Amino acid sequence: MGISLDRGYTRTMTDSKTLLDLALTIARDAGDLLMDRPASWDLTSKSTAIDIATQMDLASEKLIVQAILKARPDDGIIGEEGASRASKSGITWVIDPVDGTVNYFYGLPGWCVSIAAKDANGTLVGVVHSPTVNSTWHASKGNGAFLNNVKIACNDPVELNRALISSGFAYDVSNRIEQLKIVNVLLPKIRDLRRIGSAAADICHVATGLVDGYFETGLFEWDLAAAQLIAQEAGATVSTRKWHGLDLTVAAGPHLYQQLNAQIPE
């Protein structure tokens, strides 16, 4: 008697591998482009005067979009720097060509390229590539998360009073007043607080166990798409909810996640 294979499952696995391989290749190519830093900068202000894009953000997004559409011309695109294209295939790519632009502009490490692919049911694959720290995280739905091809898992359980937490702060300085309410409550109760400068990298650090938890307000889909899948595949809980008129994202292992949420002031 022969073994019956679920062809739909096999096809999904194959499609996810194809998408993941493409995302890894393109993220590394974009990272190579970005590592060749320019001698001078063309700066564009976005949401505020301190929320900037450089000519390299735009060049990275152009490289990523062109490479995706060359391989998969019917796919959709959502890019931080304005790339937008409706999907004809059911697959849409969510791109942050430089997450941590201020780090990149100042020459600090930790910035990254974030690329995810999703369908109507959610994110299928995610890649976060941070060449300055020789780190490439990736995940596909249901298949675990990896750093430089080594399987990773978040720290769990971790008690709040032993937790190393990372965060970031909004470009709109008025929103930082609200964020400080969380910091003021948490800081006396945790091990310490870290500020890396890239939301995608922060969430991947949760996935890897380099930090125990993370919170931040004001993230967009391109900040979250790849890193959230990576963290979830590494066992972390990641959520975004409304808080004081802002979108608040919290990520941590399940035990610490409950404690973090319980401490966030109403």
- Residue 261, pLDDT > 50, answer yes
**What confidence score (pLDDT) does residue 50 get?**
64
Give dist(CA 140, CA 18) in Å, integer: 11
Residue 2 pLDDT grade (very low, low, confident, very high; cuts 50, 70, 90): very low
Kindly report the length of the chain: 266
**Residue 226 neighbours by CB under 8 Å, 6+ apart:** 94, 96, 114, 115, 116, 123, 126, 127, 128, 137, 139, 200
Q: What is the pLDDT of residues 171-191, one digit of tens each?
A: 778 888 888 999 999 999 999
Global pTM reads 0.92
**What confidence score (pLDDT) does residue 233 get?**
98
What phi and psi values does residue 147 have, to the nearest 5 degrees? -120, 120
The share of the chain scoring above pLDDT 70, in percent, equals 94
Give dist(CA 238, CA 139) in Å, integer: 15
Domain ranges of the chain: 7-151, 160-263
Q: What is the pLDDT of residues 11-52, one digit of tens each?
A: 455 599 999 999 999 999 999 999 999 888 998 887 776 667
**What confidence score (pLDDT) does residue 191 get?**
98
- Please check whether residue 266 is in contact with residue 198, taking contact to mean a CB–CB distance below 8 angstroms: no
The domain defined by 7-151 carries CATH number 3.40.605.10: no
Helix segments in the chain, DSSP class H: 7-35, 55-71, 101-106, 173-186, 199-208, 221-233, 254-263
**What confidence score (pLDDT) does residue 1 get?**
38
Amino acid at 100: G
Give dist(CA 18, CA 36) in Å, integer: 28
Give dist(CA 23, CA 115) in Å, integer: 6
**Residue 227 neighbours by CB under 8 Å, 6+ apart:** 114, 126, 128, 137, 199, 200, 201, 202, 203, 204, 207
The CATH fold of domain 160-263: D-Maltodextrin-Binding Protein; domain 2 (3.40.190)
